[in-house]
Each structure stands twice: as C-alpha cells, then as structure tokens.
Amino acid sequence: MTAAQRAGLREALVAGYRLLHQGRPAVEAVEATIRVLEASGLFNAGVGARLQLDGARRMDAALMDGHGLRAGAVAAIQQVRHPITAARLVMDETAHVLLVGEPATRFARHFRLERQRSPTRAQWKASRAAAEIRQARGSFQRTLRLYDAMRSGRAGKLGTVGAVALDREGSVAAGASTGGIALMLPGRVGDTPLIGSGIYADDETGAVSMTGWGESIMRMAVAKEICNRLAAGVTPSTAARLVLEKLIRRTDGAAGALVLSPNGRFAIRHTTPRMAAGYWGGRGEPVIADRFA
Ligand code: GLY
C-alpha cells in the first residue's frame, strides 16, 4: 500500500465515522466512505477504475441497508464519478434493485450525478489491457492469452473498494464499488453489483463486503453464505475463515471479506497475500494495514 492509499483509507474511515457519530444511518456512512475512495483515483473504482479490453471504463457498485433489506446496484455504468451514489439512487428512488449498461448511465444523468470523462486515447494506450493486446499477434492468439490469464487468476487482482458499518440504532449496511478485473471482456460483470455475492446486509445477521476474483465469489454467493453462518451463531472471524477456505477448496478462488455483526464484532480476512483495509470506532487513530489475520 502506498502512503497516498493509506491516507485515502484514513480519510474514507473518518468521513464514514463522522456521519455515524452524528447519528446518521449506517447506509449513509457506507456511501460516504466509498465516495472518498472512488474520488481518490488510487483504487480500482470510480476515477481509478480499470478499463475493459475495448478501452471503455464500465463500473459496478452496490449498496445494501440491513434495516428492511433494501438494496440498489448498477452494473457496467459509464462516465460517472460515483457509481455508489447511482446504486443508492436505484435503492431510494426506484422499485428495482439493479440497473445495467447504458440505461444505468442515463439514470445517473437524469439525477445529475457528477460525471467523469471517458478514457482518452492516451489513457487507453497506457493501460495494461492495451499492453496485453499489443503484445499478442492476431485475434486468435489474443483470445488465448486472455483466457489463459483469466484461468490462471491473473485477472483477479484486488482493488475493489468496499465498506461495512453499524449505526447507533443497531442497523448494519454494506457497499462496494469496482472497475472489475484486469483483462475483462467488454460487458463482463463481476460479483460487486450482485446482492448476496459481492455484498449483503441484514440487521438480523450482519453486513459483508467482498473484494477479489468475482468469478469465484459469484459461484458461491459468498456474502450471503457468510451471513448464513453468522445467523447460525458463528463469529464474523470464523464465518469469514470457513467460507474463504471453501472458496479456495471449491473454486480455486481468491478474495477478501469485511464482516460486521450487529453486536459490533467484526473481521477482515483475505486469502490473498495482502488486502489494504482499515477500521475505526472513533477512539484513537484509525487502524490501517495491508495484512490481516
Ligand atoms: N470483485 C470485483 C470483480 O470481480 O469485478
């Protein structure tokens, strides 16, 4: 983790906690936290989101309020600075849960969400996806390289941002925002906007936000699986450990989880060597690290 990323995480934790301290709902704190990370350009979300193989930046985000099981999400949205706020608007302003593609982008425009420009030709040329394509010769070879990379898990680099929070009323919320994985086919959607896979929140069990290789997380509906274990009385740490072990065993996947129960117990666990993350309850300094148990 760079010093700038550490500072970005700190700013995000402070922004979220400030709202909780003022008595605002957990879902607002989660949105505010993720907005700081999206705006920073230092993570794979919002301004820093990766490009797909056609040079487009398509982003996914989701937000869930454990009070009433309300949820909103967007997938493959373009040209917005804060996909998490688009997800919030889907939750608050529509009777739906998930909007995708160009209609999701138009929805964000309708609500006058802050825009970000499409990647320039220079940005595309400098991207890793473009470098991979340049190295390959011919479309068949390119396709093989792409799938080799995906199969070997190189496409599953971390960088998705997420947050979970517990408010004074005892409600939990979870959110996540991402630019996806490296070497994505145009139109690929990962776990992040899928409720139950990338995030889940239920005041009766807890809140979970995932990062990692979406194709493995989706196949196990990991966020809901962790919540199911919390419902069975398992602690956040054990629930995360058991489900991540299963993820490796059954899907050869890679992921990190933020898990918070309504009684305030929480865990940060990852199967990857590192996961930049932090937590703060308002006392002392926020704890930020790139390796957790
Ligand atoms: N976890 C983010 C993604 O796979 O898109």
Q: Would you say the CB of residue 116 lies under 6 angstroms from ligand 1?
A: no
State the SS3 of 38-74. Answer: HHHCCCCCHHHCCCCCCCCCCEEEEEEECCCCEEEEE
Per DSSP, 286 falls in state P
Q: Give CA–CA dist 291/156, Å, rounded.
A: 18
Record the pTM. Answer: 0.90
Using alpha carbons, list the distances in angstroms from residue 2 to 7, 9, 43, 157, 290: 9, 11, 11, 16, 10
Q: Measured from the CB, is residue 178 less than 6 Å from ligand 1?
A: yes
286 pocket-lining for ligand 1 (C-beta < 6 Å): no
Q: Which residues are catalytic?
A: 160
Give the Å distance between the CA of 48 and the centre of ligand 1. Answer: 14
Residues 269, 234: Cα–Cα separation, whole Å: 15
Domain over 3-289 is classified CATH 3.10.105.10: no
Say how many Å lie between the CA of residue 198 and the centre of ligand 1. 8
Pocket perturbation via mutation, ligand 1, pick of 217, 219, 270 by most ligand atoms within 8 A of CB:
217
- Indicate whether residue 209 lines ligand 1 (CB < 6 A): no
- Confirm or reject: Cβ of 191 under 6 Å from ligand 1: yes
Return the structure tokens found at 47: 């301004």
How much distance in Å is there from the Cα of 174 to the middle of ligand 1? 16
Q: How far apart, in whole angstroms, are the C-alpha atoms of residue 230 and residue 224? A: 10
Task: Walk along the chain (293 residues) and give the pLDDT tens digit of each residue.
Answer: 899 999 999 999 999 999 999 999 999 999 999 999 999 999 999 999 998 888 899 999 999 999 999 999 999 999 999 999 999 999 999 999 999 999 999 999 999 999 997 777 777 777 666 666 555 445 645 544 554 544 444 443 448 999 999 999 999 999 999 999 888 889 999 999 999 999 999 999 999 999 999 999 999 999 999 999 999 999 999 999 999 999 999 999 999 999 999 999 999 999 988 899 999 998 999 999 999 97
Q: What is the DSSP letter of 138?
A: S
Which of 34, 59, 100, 178 for a ligand 1 pocket mutation test, highest count of atoms within 8 Å of Cβ? 178
